[in-house]
Chain A
Amino acid sequence: MKNSQLYKGSLNTIIMKLLEENGKMYGYEITQKVKIITHGELNITEGALYPALHKLEAEGILDVEIAKVDNRMRKYYKLTESGQKETVNRLAELEDFIRNMQSLVNPKSNLEF
């Protein structure tokens, strides 16, 4: 992951946002989707992805669904009802964070508004 420390705290929110948009996704699909959206700038490692997914699942934010695809079982993740509400909250928090960072990094552009 490029600048991994900067992205680390937002990984759960990124996953939740993707699941909100796509309904259900499997692990590999999430890594590829992030890579495509960020034009290869952000690369979620397997070692970071699965603990994040398992944590969200244990917290009841994500639910699991299993399906047979191409002669193998596939584990899909999807947002639970409480997970959908939590996604809205976390996205609002992330947007606030980005806005504050923008104010700190580039205060001039903020004054222009």
Chain B
Amino acid sequence: MKLTTQQIEYVENYIISKDIKWYELQVELTDHMVTSMEEFWEKDPELTFHQVKYYAEDKFGRNGFKVIEEERTQILRKEFRRAQLKMIAEYFKFPKIILGILLGFLAFKASFYFDEPVKFVAILFGLLAVLIIPAFYSFYINRKINGKRFLELNINHGTFTGIFGLMYWVMYFLNSFKESVQSHPILILALCCLWVVGILFLITGIHLQKKTIENVKRQYQLT
């Protein structure tokens, strides 16, 4: 026996009420529940709507929907990290590595033109904050596509929090060890290298975000 549109909507809203806010999971779990309910009803037409719903949900186990969502979050987070590190590793190979070395070297060299290299390093990381604004804006406007929220798109925010974390750590380091940084150019060089790594995280984060948006739009036929 097929479920009516109203009954399907009821199941969908029930899944949403279980705090499943991601569209890809709502679609998957609703379809699974509905198909399973229809099969239970096929076997025993005497059962009520709520009975078949109970039996179908029972197959997911206690807090089953939420457990699936949590596991998906872990999987996507892990895969995003792996893909990002793989992309960054590419920048440490020839010939891309030349670009990184050049950028780090130029930043280091530019610090000589400042009376207080610490201030220069602070400006460098401040620049990273400026660069992150358009990327964060893009993340914000794409957090929903056609009003639908996707877990895959939400995972990308890890890059921004990571970069903000790095900036906070560097500013803290500069404030705490100002004298040491001032008198040891090697520390300036190390911070310039760290800045290059920050830039790489930002570039790869933006690239992966773009790729994920395109992929989600293609898979879910959204414009």
Contacts and interface: CB of A to CB of B under 8 A. Distances in A.
Interface of A: 26-28, 45-47, 50-51, 54-55, 58-59, 63-66, 69-75
Contact of B75 (A26, A58, A64): A58
B53 to A, nearest CB: 14
Nearest to B26: A73
Interface of B: 2-5, 8, 12, 24, 27-28, 30-32, 34-36, 59-61, 64, 67-68, 71-72, 75-76, 78-79, 219-221
B31 A50 contact: no
A59 B78 CA distance: 10
Contact of B219 (A27, A55, A63, A74): A63
B71 A54 contact: yes
Nearest to B30: A72
A55 B75 contact: yes
Contacts, number: 72
28 contacts: A26-B31, A27-B31, A46-B68, A47-B60, A47-B61, A50-B28, A51-B68, A51-B75, A54-B72, A54-B75, A54-B76, A58-B79, A63-B219, A64-B24, A66-B27, A66-B219, A66-B220, A66-B221, A70-B2, A71-B3, A71-B4, A71-B8, A72-B27, A72-B31, A72-B34, A73-B31, A74-B31, A75-B27
